[in-house]
Amino acid sequence: MTVSARNGWIHGDYLSEAKPVELTSTTPVAPAAASDDGTVSEHASGDPVRDAVVGRCDCPYDLMRNGRLCGGRSAYSKPGGRSPVCYW
């Protein structure tokens, strides 16, 4: 099999005649501000905005392609450049 100019193999357990379901990506949403009546959001401050994503190190809790946490290598942790919303 060739993908992105790389040759390799795929175990037969991962092959199927059915077409794969297309996943829709979710974009992070900015935290909701407190409403006029003084109620607070159901999310606690410091909770992740979304689940971890593999491959793009936007947030410290994302995973690199090798399965390790991005941590200090994430765009959120580095000064300058992009500033993704990672926590409520």
Q: How does pLDDT run along the chain (88 residues), one tens digit per residue?
A: 566 667 777 777 777 788 777 767 666 666 555 555 555 557 778 888 999 999 989 999 999 999 999 999 999 999 887 889 999 8
Cβ–Cβ < 8 Å for 49, 85: yes
Question: Is the Cα dihedral 11, 55, 19, 50 positive or negative?
Answer: positive
pLDDT of amino acid 35: 55
pLDDT of amino acid 40: 55
**pTM score of the predicted model:** 0.50
Q: By CB neighbour count within 10 A (0-12 exposed, 13-18 middle, 19+ buried), where does 53 fall? A: middle
Among candidate residues 27, 15, 44, the one with its CA nearest the CA of residue 84: 27
pLDDT of amino acid 54: 92
